[in-house]
Amino acid sequence: MFTKKLGEWFEISIPSSWDGITIEDALKVKWEMPKQMLHQLRMEKGAKLNGEILPWNTSLKVNDKFQIHLFMEDEYGVQPEYNPNLQILFEDDHLLIANKPSGMDTHPNEDNQLGTLANGIAYHFQAHGLFTKVRHIHRLDRDTTGAIIFAKHKLASAILDRRLENREIKRTYVALAHGIFRQKKGMIDASIGRDRHHPTRRRISPKGQKAITKYKVIQTFPAKKMSLVELELLTGRTHQIRVHLSHIGHPLLGDTLYGGKPTVPRQALHAAKIKLLHPLTNEEIICEAPFLDEPPIFESAFF
């Protein structure tokens, strides 16, 4: 699918798979645009076909130029702050995937907070002449490293939010856990709720939110009594991997909140890979996030 940005407008050349559908079908069915956005686009005459404003029941033809008003200027929502170590793994007009280091919040948790990944993204946008809200699609704990997706406009945000909820975005983590697993792979299905006795801690609770984690042991280190594990989130609860691995008796190295020993300076958890379909073109995107720790945490396990 050929696409391009024309100022505040997004243009696509209609592919053969869209031949014969209407303008309304393209917006409602192909992109599943939320009702509020559809209404706003209709009221503002924000959809054109070959440069003309036409009724939404007009059929599209192969190679037609379909334009929608997509790239409106907006406040960043956070204060831009230069981050010399910002590592961007993927970026186009619609989304950005960044590699978060440890000791950094994904976004501000209080007014005027600086030092977060979102502050650095805002500065990056500003430096490239882009004025749009910084929209994170998911988060990582302060001391968890790895890949995080940001949307650059409302439609990409709505599509990615829905795909995340429908488990259509695959997030793969790696972790160093205490002990040697009896089973080389498995699934942890245990609901997670707040711990009434601790403000930030979570716990397994039958009345909590449903939480499912798949795991696979990549390598074991018997002398060090630890395992390198690959994990996939099927739900996205706060501290999910940390709580689940602690629950089955294998807390993360460095995760003292959930029973891990402080053998490394942080919980040994890294969002290593993200696989998704592009929100507008449906092309497959695969991003791998390199380790950022200095001195290394994960690489040192192999020596």
d(CA 136, CA 162): 13
* Active-site hit among 25, 92, 93, 141: 141
d(CA 148, CA 273): 10
Q: Residue-wise pLDDT tens for the chain (303 aa)?
A: 789 999 999 999 999 999 999 999 999 999 999 999 999 999 999 999 999 999 999 999 999 999 999 999 999 999 999 999 999 999 999 999 999 999 999 999 998 899 999 999 999 999 999 999 999 999 999 999 999 999 999 999 999 999 999 999 999 999 999 999 999 999 999 999 999 899 899 999 999 999 999 999 999 999 999 999 999 999 989 999 999 999 999 999 999 999 999 999 999 999 999 999 999 999 999 999 999 999 999 986 654
Q: Give residue limits of the domains in the chain.
A: 3-69, 171-271
d(CA 295, CA 140): 21
Fold of the domain built from segment(s) 3-69: 3.10.290
Is residue 93 part of the annotated active site? The answer reads: no
CATH number of 171-271: 3.30.2350.10
The answer to whether residues 142 and 180 touch, using CB atoms and an 8 Å cutoff, is no
Q: What's the angle, vertex CA 170, arms to CA 221 and CA 266, rounded to 5?
A: 45
d(CA 190, CA 182): 19
The span from the first CA to the last CA of the chain, in angstroms, equals 47
